[in-house]
Structure 1
Amino acid sequence: MRLLHRLSELSVLASLVLAHEGHNYDHHHHPDHSHDHEDLGAVKICGDGGSLTGGCQDGLGSMGAADEKEFLWKENDTAQKPVTSTDDDSKPKGYPWTHTTPCFTSPQPDTSICVFTDNNFANGRGASFITTPHRAEYLATTPAFVDQDLVKNINQDLHRTAPSKYEKHQIPGKGMGLIAKVHIHRGDLIMANTPSLMIDYRAFEDLPKEEYRQLQAAAVDQLPDLHREHIMALSTHDGIERTHIERIDKICSTNAFDIDPDSDDETQDHGFYVVFPEIARMNHDCRPNADYYFDHETLTQYIHAIRDISPGEELTLSYINPIMKKRARNKKLNRIWGFQCACPLCTKEQAQVEASDVRIHQIKELVGEFSDWSSDSRATPQLAELVLSLYEQEKLWGSMYEAYTWLALEYNAVGEPWTAVKWANRAVEWGIPVVGPKDGDMEQMRRLIKDPWAHWSWLKRVKVRGGWGKGSEREGDGDDEEE
């Protein structure tokens, strides 16, 4: 559930969280992709300002052809080798992992952090997990492991069973990227990947750098050869010569996505840091043509088109929350990935950039009204129409379902059920490709579509403003600083 604020009616709570992880007004699912566990070094500003996206992006990290060479575990690496645990308690019960080592002892009581690799996962593609034995045992109970037919043909990058909608190309100013081969309609699935490497954040928080780096290297080295080669072909962005262990750490810090824990995962305080090599080849755009969501049941990252894409057009994602002003966007891109964005939005004339920043400021100022169900709220259907217009002007295609959701709720809250149903259907249509069909927001909209009169929002504004009920307190809606 990814809309920013919690909406409630008496004892009924309907979550519409615009921020991934519940932060004040962050986009529904775009935290930093890269875990900032080491400095990126000097910021590199380069690229063709006239290209779709500029700077030394090279996807989330696809390396150039000159760097494509195989790396194996080398005896002359300076880092200490991981310690193989012989403690039977370090092994999760029941699941036949290909590898359950190496392990390091965590400072937390009776806890070790190990590499768990299954080279049979996803039709022999394989996957490695760096986590505790207890959490590995939990992951092994997910449908992706229990019924591996669910993920048998998901990955098309190593073993293709269906025609590809894209191809890899060197893109001027950006290195490797993905180009559409056919017309891709809004809502179409572009690609999907199960994780190559899935790292529990506790590895970064509990272990010294030398130890978690060794676990990362072992996790990659234990994968099947072809899969490992695809990971090692990803870019580090800076071209600096490194040891094998250091290179894998840099590949991970350049190319990983942040994934929140599933709702039934006991470890809610620690998300995952996940590498998907094929998806990582997609370059950044502040107004991308594709968006993603992670399905915990299949452990799969899905990429869908959020607008029509023409043949020959580059496929792009936003690496950051797109609802930020230009200065904040570029500050974050510089800090995390080391490039200055030269996408069409960032290279507009100054007057256009300033107009865009004004619209972003209005969006951030107004959306908090929709979570305020007190009589003081300014929220009306007309205000929701204004926010929809601002989203459209800003080409926030991956966030459109949010505006449609607010419209549905506001119209229902003033007693206009059929208009509410119209917008709720729009919310579902636009939302499924970017948050998934199981998302809580989609479930709320389906309930409204089925019976708007029984939905918690029915006449909510009328009742509160007429003194028939008590609304919730207004929550903060964030500001314009880097998020």
Structure 2
Amino acid sequence: MNDALYIIKDTPSNGKGMFATRDIKHGTCILSENPLVLIGPDNQRNFEAVNSLPMINKMQFLALRNVYSEKEMPVLAGIIKTNALPRGPNSDEAAVYRDLSRVNHSCAPNVHHFWNRITEKESIHAVKDIAAGDEILTSYEEVLMPWAARQVSLQKKFRFECRCKLCTSASNEEYDATVARVKKLSDLIMVYVSMKNDPRKAIECVREILALMDKAGIWGKSTFIHDGYQISAMYSNYDLAKEWADLLLESYLLDEGESGDLYKRYLGYAQNPKSHERAGWGGYIDLKGA
């Protein structure tokens, strides 16, 4: 496609990869792709699905990278394990793609990939501005993982030691400290809301998390912005809830766009902050200034 935002080409050390053909703005949907083949928990059925593909699609599948030796597993299984992306969080169903399966890993990604249940396609959105010529990189792991845990997991699942900009930078230890602090604050949000009935402290935790993530350039703030909205709505602070809901909608649009699974729900929150199913459950506690 002449108007494609990317090209697939060789990388110096990671096989083929996806590269930007022009400057791409934060929030841009770079690609929404139909699966080449759907993958489930039954290996035999997966092999049958691959072998029943039209020849051109089977050749595209077989051209994908395989990091596993034949001693470890059959070739088809190795290609699937190397390239399959889950169809939604915590799903045991996955899919392999002609182009999206070429997107390489970075612990500091410039795109977010996600399965859209509405369109039944996998999409990638830019989570920061990407310059023409830059490699398009996603994270194979949760972004809120410390360096050692990321390395162990990547080595086990994908057979490589990550040498991305984050893993080789002097700020790596600072990043780990940020991750640890964010996780602690995330746990405290639940404690303050469910055990101590102190939503002001919970909102303070949310604000500190967002500031830490902004400073470190960590993607994925929508989850915590949602916490801010939900807490405000639960304790009947609907003006504040409206502010959080607007911020949530803006963040989600950048992450997944109007076609995303949760867009209509978050739009509803922004239009009517009282529409959350737990609105008013906690009575009223003034959260102004929190």
TM-score, with structure 1 as normaliser: 0.53
2:166 to 345, 363, 368: 345
Other structure's SS at 2:32 match: strand
Q: Distance in 1 between matches of 2:231 and 2:245?
A: 11
* Alignment match, 1:301: 122
Cα distance, 1:174 vs. partner? 1.9
* Alignment match, 2:247: 426
CA gap of 1:448–1:216, structure 2 versus 1, over 3 A, is closer
CA gap of 1:383–1:457, structure 2 versus 1, over 3 A, is farther
Other structure's SS at 2:64 match: coil
Q: Distance in 1 between matches of 2:205 and 2:19?
A: 38
Indicate the structure (1 or 2) with the bigger Cα radius of gyration.
1
**Map of 1:322-341 to 2, 5 A cutoff?**
322-341=143-162
Checking the alignment, whether the CA contact within 8 Å between 1:291 and 1:304 is kept in structure 2 is yes
CA gap of 1:454–1:281, structure 2 versus 1, over 3 A, is closer
* Alignment match, 1:224: 54
Query: Is 1:252 aligned to 2:80, yes or no?
Result: yes
* Alignment match, 1:284: 105
Checking the alignment, whether the CA contact within 8 Å between 1:384 and 1:410 is kept in structure 2 is no
Alignment-mate amino acid for residue 174 of structure 2: A
Cα distance, 1:323 vs. partner? 0.7
Checking the alignment, whether the CA contact within 8 Å between 2:235 and 2:285 is kept in structure 1 is no
* Alignment match, 2:271: 450
Cα distance, 1:307 vs. partner? 1.2
* Alignment match, 2:137: 316
Checking the alignment, whether the CA contact within 8 Å between 1:405 and 1:445 is kept in structure 2 is no
2:202 to 380, 401, 404: 380
1:362 to 181, 191, 200: 181
Cα distance, 1:294 vs. partner? 1.2
CA gap of 1:454–1:258, structure 2 versus 1, over 3 A, is closer
Cα distance, 1:273 vs. partner? 2.6
Alignment-mate amino acid for residue 210 of structure 2: L
User: Residues 331-354 of structure 1: CA distance to partner in whole angstroms, max 9, x if unpaired?
Assistant: 1000000101111111112xx322
Cα distance, 1:301 vs. partner? 0.7
* Higher RCO (CA-CA < 8 Å; seq separation 6+): 1
Checking the alignment, whether the CA contact within 8 Å between 1:293 and 1:436 is kept in structure 2 is no
Q: Distance in 2 between matches of 1:422 and 1:309?
A: 29
RMSD over aligned Cα, in angstroms? Answer: 2.9
Cα distance, 1:164 vs. partner? 0.8
Alignment-mate amino acid for residue 287 of structure 1: A
User: Residues 375-425 of structure 1: CA distance to partner in whole angstroms, max 9, x if unpaired?
Assistant: 51554332211010122123222x121232223334445555344323322
User: Residues 228-252 of structure 1: CA distance to partner in whole angstroms, max 9, x if unpaired?
Assistant: 11111101135x578xx92222111
Q: Distance in 1 between matches of 2:161 and 2:265?
A: 39
Q: Distance in 2 between matches of 1:464 and 1:301?
A: 42
More deviation, 318-327/170-179: 170-179
CA gap of 1:391–1:377, structure 2 versus 1, over 3 A, is farther
Checking the alignment, whether the CA contact within 8 Å between 1:234 and 1:251 is kept in structure 2 is yes
* Alignment match, 2:8: 168
* Alignment match, 1:90: none
Checking the alignment, whether the CA contact within 8 Å between 1:237 and 1:254 is kept in structure 2 is yes
Checking the alignment, whether the CA contact within 8 Å between 1:412 and 1:452 is kept in structure 2 is yes
Other structure's SS at 1:335 match: helix
Task: Give 1 or 2: higher helix fraction.
Answer: 2
TM-score, with structure 2 as normaliser: 0.85
Cα distance, 1:219 vs. partner? 2.0
2:24 to 166, 184, 195: 184
Alignment-mate amino acid for residue 405 of structure 1: H
Other structure's SS at 1:173 match: coil
- Over the matched positions of the two proteins, sequence identity in percent amounts to 23
Checking the alignment, whether the CA contact within 8 Å between 2:7 and 2:19 is kept in structure 1 is yes
Cα distance, 1:442 vs. partner? 4.4
* Alignment match, 1:394: 216
User: Residues 414-449 of structure 1: CA distance to partner in whole angstroms, max 9, x if unpaired?
Assistant: 555344323322212222454565767545533332
Structure 2: 5+ residue runs without aligned partners? none
Q: Distance in 2 between matches of 1:457 and 1:369?
A: 20
CA gap of 1:260–1:456, structure 2 versus 1, over 3 A, is closer
Checking the alignment, whether the CA contact within 8 Å between 1:326 and 1:353 is kept in structure 2 is yes
Cα distance, 1:292 vs. partner? 1.7
